[in-house]
């Protein structure tokens, strides 16, 4: 089992000009690690990070889109996997922090922590599906996955973390959205 913050730090070492769509715990942790204009936060829309990321990937085929999702959030919108599989955006990578809980809502356990999320994604039509339980393997493979043809799905088996402080007014600040829009317009 991995630590989510360690996974995100490893990912940050490889992120350059990709759009990163993040939600809830992954979002607050990502913001603490790598605050940048091409971050798009999807709070208050549990389950919709993958849909937001898919829309961005389809609208901007010139940009790689990385979605940082949670297992509880994904369970709220499993149907998105079928759409991603059908549309098959080559610039899309979906990373799911699988900790067996609705962490952002107080840590209530998922109804079934034995869900094979990579298997579900594969059955939905996503051909490149991976499960990571060891940080060394994740660190060795993430650079190549970020360059590979998508869609790509990664189930990151992580320990439940402490609830991070969330400053929604900052995450949804008009200046943050304007900076995101400007970075997209600039082709950054």
The predicted-structure confidence for 96-144, as pLDDT tens digits, reads as follows: 999 877 766 666 667 877 899 999 999 999 999 999 999 999 999 999 9
For a pLDDT cut of 90, what percent of the chain falls above it?
Answer: 68
Whole-model pTM? Answer: 0.93
Question: For the chain, what is the domain count?
Answer: 1
| Cα R_g (the chain), whole angstroms | 15
- Pick the more confident residue, 77 or 46: 77
pLDDT above 80 for 161:
no
Confirm if 121 and 129 have CB atoms less than 8 A apart: yes
In 60-153, alpha helices (H)? 71-75, 79-87, 117-123, 135-147
Q: What is the CATH number of the domain that holds 46?
A: 3.40.50.970
Compute the distance between CA of residue 188 and CA of residue 181 in angstroms, rounded to an integer.
10
Residue 143's pLDDT is: 98
Dihedral sign for Cα atoms in the order 34, 40, 46, 47: negative
Q: Are strands 19-22 and 65-70 parallel, antiparallel or unpaired?
A: parallel
Q: Are strands 92-98 and 128-132 parallel, antiparallel or unpaired?
A: unpaired
**Degrees to nearest 5, angle at CA 90 with 94 and 187:** 90
Compute the distance between CA of residue 111 and CA of residue 71 in angstroms, rounded to an integer.
11
Residue 174's pLDDT is: 86
Angle, to 10 degrees, between the axis of helix 49-59 and the axis of helix 79-87? 20
The residue segments making up the domain with residue 68 are 4-185
Q: What is the mean pLDDT of the chain?
A: 90
Mean per-residue pLDDT for 23-38? Answer: 88
pLDDT above 80 for 44:
no
Running DSSP on this structure, what letter comes out for residue 146?
Answer: H
pLDDT in tens, 12-27: 999 999 999 998 778 8
Angle, to 10 degrees, between the axis of helix 135-147 and the axis of helix 4-12? 40
Cα torsion for 149, 180, 60, 6, to the nearest 10°?
A: 10
Residue 77's pLDDT is: 92
Confirm if 66 and 156 have CB atoms less than 8 A apart: no
Residue 27's pLDDT is: 84
Secondary structure (3-state) at 12: helix
Question: Token pair of 68, please?
Answer: 């940082």
């Amino acid at each position: 089992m991995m630590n989510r913050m360690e996974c995100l730090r490893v990912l940050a070492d490889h992120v350059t000009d990709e759009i990163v769509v993040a939600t809830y715990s992954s979002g607050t942790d990502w913001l603490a690690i790598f605050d940048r204009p091409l971050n798009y936060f999807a709070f208050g829309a549990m389950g919709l990070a993958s849909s937001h990321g898919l829309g961005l990937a389809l609208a901007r085929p010139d940009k790689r889109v990385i979605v940082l999702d949670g297992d509880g959030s994904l369970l709220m919108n499993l149907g998105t996997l079928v759409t991603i599989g059908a549309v098959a955006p080559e610039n899309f990578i979906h990373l799911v922090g699988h900790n067996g809980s609705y962490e952002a809502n107080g840590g209530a356990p998922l109804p079934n922590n034995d869900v094979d999320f990579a298997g579900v994604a594969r059955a939905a039509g996503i051909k490149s599906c991976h499960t990571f339980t060891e940080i060394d393997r994740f660190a060795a493979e993430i650079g190549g996955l970020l360059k590979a043809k998508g869609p790509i799905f990664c189930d990151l088996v992580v320990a439940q973390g402490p609830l991070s402080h969330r400053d929604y007014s900052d995450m949804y600040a008009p200046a943050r959205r304007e900076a995101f829009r400007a970075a997209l317009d600039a082709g950054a």
